[in-house]
Amino acid sequence: MTKSEQKNKQPLWLAMEEKILGLDSQAVSTDKLEGTIQKVAGELDGDGFNVSKHGGNLMQLRWAIDKMRTVGKPMLKDLNAAIAAFTLEDLADPYAATTSLLDNIGGTWPELRYPDRRGEVIWAVEEAKLDLLVAKAKGLDGDAGIRLLLGEEVAEPTIIEKMQITDDQLKEVKETIKKELAERARVQALLDKVADKPENEKVKHLFENNVAEALITEMMGVGQDVLNAVKKAMEEELKEKQRLAEEEAARKKKEAEGPALEDISAEDMLAYIESIREIMEFSDVEKEIRTMCEQSSIPKALVDIAVTDPGKLDELEKNAEG
């Protein structure tokens, strides 16, 4: 158990026990006992406690040293050993751990059960839990340790001090956690919309809404095999959509280009050629000719001839008339 930073706020019984903890067997032997009591009383006076000139306090010190001599060891030796034996799991509930501790050593030290002392015991147990949490946190990678302490509701100034980080670093981790919680809420809302759908459709829905694989696994409890199967099915579906889109684009292109030369009737051929000649009277620029021909729905095959070999139009026209 450590001494409070503000000695005047430390209870007298604990200050006494800390002094007693530092005594050896020779110091409390019968021939040296009185000198030791006076020496400890003087040290306590120097720490801000009125002991040497306060009858009640001096008597309390004598009783505490007499108890140490009777038991054969200081109270804090037993108390510190009992606290040191706790694991982090044991300290999940500090109050329950304190009760267990007092059940173990309370027979020897019943005074630890006194209302004015139990609070200090609980505080010591809580400090032990904090020390174990910090030790565990320091062994974790990245910001996992800071997350652990935040999750255990350790005070932020304590986290900054114990983990030796800056206030900005702590804020950064908290902001990251905030974003993660927001993302989880978004994903849960997405899942709620497809609550009645099969598992694979739920996974697909999350993929389509840019949810990370790790989060899908976490929130849906599915394995990588399920994710891989859904991704494969989506890839096949995408390929099919792409194939259909390409076919549709080709169809529209062919439709926009109009029929091939051999598929144009003689009557339509004559009408198209006449329109082309009228257009070419307005412009001899290829781009403009193509644009006006497209607007007039003239087949691309004829337009290509008009801009590359306009003389061939006469031949086509003669064939159509003949």
First to last CA, the chain: 117
Q: State CA 286 to chain mean position distance.
A: 62
Looking at the fold, whether 275 and 295 belong to one and the same domain comes out as yes
Looking at the fold, whether 2 and 62 belong to one and the same domain comes out as yes
In whole angstroms, give the CA distance from residue 92 to residue 88.
Answer: 6
Q: SS in 3 state form for 287-316?
A: HHHHHHHHHCCCCHHHHHHHHHCCCHHHHH
Structural domain includes residue 218: yes
Looking at the fold, whether 5 and 64 belong to one and the same domain comes out as yes
Cβ proximity of 301 and 257 under 8 Å: yes
Could you give the number of structural domains in the chain? 3
Structural domain includes residue 134: no
pLDDT above 50 for 203: yes
Q: Which of 238, 254, 270 is the last residue of a domain?
A: 254
Structural domain includes residue 269: yes
Q: Which of 73, 88, 116 is the last residue of a domain?
A: 73
Q: What tokens were used for 135? A: 């030790």
- Structure confidence by residue, pLDDT tens digits, 21-64: 999 989 999 999 999 999 999 999 999 999 999 999 999 999 99
- Structure confidence by residue, pLDDT tens digits, 268-315: 889 989 999 999 888 889 999 889 988 888 998 888 998 998 889 888
Looking at the fold, whether 230 and 278 belong to one and the same domain comes out as no
Structural domain includes residue 275: yes
Looking at the fold, whether 222 and 285 belong to one and the same domain comes out as no
pLDDT above 90 for 209: yes
In whole angstroms, give the CA distance from residue 239 to residue 227.
Answer: 18
Residue 3's pLDDT is 37
Looking at the fold, whether 281 and 226 belong to one and the same domain comes out as no
Residue 9's pLDDT is 76
Residue 32's pLDDT is 94
Structural domain includes residue 244: yes
Structural domain includes residue 289: yes
Residue 4's pLDDT is 36
Label residue 96 by pLDDT band (50, 70, 90): very high
Q: Which of 235, 254, 273 is the last residue of a domain?
A: 254
Structural domain includes residue 234: yes
Of 175 and 116, which is predicted with more confidence? 175
Looking at the fold, whether 241 and 294 belong to one and the same domain comes out as no
**Helix (H/G/I), strand (E/B), else coil: 33:** helix
Structural domain includes residue 196: no
Range of the domain at 299: 258-321
Please compute the mean of the pLDDT values over residues 148-154 and round it to a whole number.
96
Question: How far from 213 is each of 13, 32, 182, 310, CA to CA, in Å?
Answer: 58, 73, 17, 61
Between helices 167-193 and 199-208, what is the axis angle to 10°? 130
Which has the minimum average pLDDT: 8-17, 88-97, 193-202, 209-218? 8-17
